[in-house]
């Protein structure tokens, strides 16, 4: 397994339900350099002759007995990577979940400890829990599978939290880790591919804006979220930026939208096109169907749907979603070159989330561009923050110049 020149590896990762292979294939089509696509889980299944779920069962129950067998299968993965002509895209989970046990993927450890392999980047894909679980059920039903395990929404989010922890640990080890919401525009995927696969120069910007306030407006006026004027304004602004700035990767917080509240301000487990933040643009995946009712009997294949009738469970689910929003948004801030806040004092209100993002970006000496056209909104902003923390942008052309989209 010797290789004279280091193999550059880009890892596309995420937990079950993110359709990693489809994402990797889409990114591969954008690469100018030649990459070999390697699916770790498929190789393990082929080498061991059993489904991944059975592999995980044995890993949990008989790790000492299974160690040598699994090691040989992982060596096969390693051989495939080392046979690549200089570059490889590897799709794999950073961690596994089986019978409520979360395990670090041993293949990841092997890749990291092999001197002739250089991890160029790890892209961690995050999908809305409801669409991910919906895909898992679709797979079970279409293949007539029987799964002797549970994967309810809270357990799914806890697994994802473990994955975040792994990603952060890798970050502290000096690896480049990029978080990416699955519902980003396909054009942003293309730019991300050119950035991580071909090292093309891009400017990474996190786009912060109001969400919860506009969701409340939607509920109070009983109109779809997509019909709220400020929502349409924000989405149009994002589209303009992406179209005018060909070397911009715009990280959008609404590419994962899970804190969907009902009229009583409690977590809604019935997700519709009307109550989710709109994504009326082309995405990598095309199976985002609505509505999805997490209490539907179809989900009984993977969990007891009565759980979603329990207030204590819903409270825990809500708090977990809130915690992960903060973690995810700060991850975006950390991986970005700059933060762009769109009308942070809209209607005289500043969200708690944007306050944290401002503070973190400023502490890292990253530019914070604040797009505020109206002077009254700017005065309100000055009351909350010292001016050295941000730079005011008054119009679109000034913003485009600041982002170096135009001369």
CA distance 257 to 276: 7
State whether residue 117 is helix, strand or coil: strand
Q: What is the pLDDT of residue 309?
A: 94
Residue entry with tokens 């009229």 = 263
Which sequence spans correspond to the domains of the chain?
7-202+247-336
User: Comparing C-alpha atoms, which of 355, 362, 360 is closest to residue 384?
Assistant: 355
Q: What is the pLDDT of residue 406?
A: 62
pTM summary value: 0.94
Question: Which CATH entry fits the domain spanning 7-202+247-336: 3.10.180.10, 3.65.10.10, 3.40.50.300, 1.10.3720.10?
Answer: 3.40.50.300
Beta-carbon contacts of 8 under 8 Å, excluding residues fewer than 6 positions away, are: 86, 87, 88, 118, 120
Q: What is the pLDDT of residue 63?
A: 73
- Residue 257 in contact with residue 128, Cβ under 8 Å? yes
Q: What is the pLDDT of residue 1?
A: 46
Note down pLDDT in tens along the chain; length 407 residues.
444 678 999 999 999 999 999 999 999 999 888 899 999 999 988 988 878 877 887 777 777 767 788 888 899 999 999 888 779 999 999 999 988 889 999 999 999 999 999 999 999 999 999 999 999 999 988 887 767 789 999 999 999 999 999 999 999 999 999 999 999 999 999 999 999 999 999 999 999 999 999 999 998 899 999 999 999 999 999 999 999 999 999 999 999 999 999 888 899 999 999 999 999 999 999 999 999 999 999 999 999 999 999 999 999 999 999 999 999 999 999 999 999 999 988 888 887 788 889 889 988 999 999 998 887 777 777 777 766 577 888 889 999 988 888 65
Q: How many helices (H) and strands (E) in the chain?
A: 14, 14
DSSP secondary structure code for residue 34 in this structure: -
A 10 A CB-CB count for 196 gives: 23
A 10 A CB-CB count for 115 gives: 7
- Residue 278 in contact with residue 225, Cβ under 8 Å? yes
Q: What is the pLDDT of residue 381?
A: 77
Tokens of 160: 């994802």
- Residue 199 in contact with residue 130, Cβ under 8 Å? no
CA distance 38 to 17: 18
């Amino acid at each position: 397994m010797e290789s004279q020149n280091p193999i550059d590896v880009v890892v596309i990762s995420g937990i079950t339900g993110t359709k990693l292979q489809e994402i990797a294939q889409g990114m591969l089509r954008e690469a100018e350099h030649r990459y070999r696509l390697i699916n770790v889980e498929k190789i393990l299944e082929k080498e061991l002759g059993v489904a991944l779920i059975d592999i995980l069962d044995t890993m949990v129950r008989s790790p000492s007995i299974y160690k040598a067998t699994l090691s040989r299968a992982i060596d096969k993965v390693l051989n495939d990577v080392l046979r690549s002509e200089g570059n490889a895209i590897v799709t794999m989970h950073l961690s596994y979940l089986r019978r409520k046990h979360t395990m670090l993927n041993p293949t990841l450890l092997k890749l990291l400890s092999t001197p002739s392999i250089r991890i160029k980047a790890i892209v961690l894909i995050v999908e809305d829990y409801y669409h991910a679980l919906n895909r898992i059920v679709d797979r079970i039903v279409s293949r007539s599978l029987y799964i002797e395990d549970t994967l309810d929404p809270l357990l799914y989010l806890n697994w994802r939290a473990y994955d975040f922890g792994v990603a952060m640990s890798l970050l502290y080890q000096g690896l480049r880790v990029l978080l990416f919401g699955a519902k980003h525009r396909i054009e942003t995927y293309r730019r991300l591919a050119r950035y991580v696969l071909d090292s093309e120069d891009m400017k990474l910007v996190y786009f912060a804006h109001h969400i919860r306030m506009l969701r409340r407006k939607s509920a109070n006026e009983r109109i779809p979220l997509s019909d709220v004027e400020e929502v349409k304004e924000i989405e149009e602004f994002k589209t303009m930026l992406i179209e005018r700035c060909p070397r911009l990767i715009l990280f959008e917080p609404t590419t994962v939208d899970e804190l969907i509240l009902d009229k009583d301000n409690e977590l809604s487990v019935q997700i519709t096109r009307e109550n989710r933040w709109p994504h009326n643009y082309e995405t990598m995946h095309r199976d985002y169907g609505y509505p999805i009712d997490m209490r539907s009997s179809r989900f009984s294949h993977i969990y007891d749907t009565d759980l979603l009738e329990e207030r204590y469970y819903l409270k825990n689910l809500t708090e977990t979603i809130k915690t992960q929003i903060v973690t995810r948004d700060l991850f975006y801030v950390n991986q970005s070159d700059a933060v762009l806040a769109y009308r942070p004092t809209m209607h005289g209100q500043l969200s708690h989330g944007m306050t944290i993002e401002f503070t973190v970006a400023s502490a890292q000496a990253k530019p914070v561009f604040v797009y505020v056209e109206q002077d009254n909104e700017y005065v309100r902003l000055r009351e909350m923050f010292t001016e050295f923390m941000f730079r005011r942008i008054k119009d679109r052309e000034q913003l485009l110049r600041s982002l170096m989209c135009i001369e």
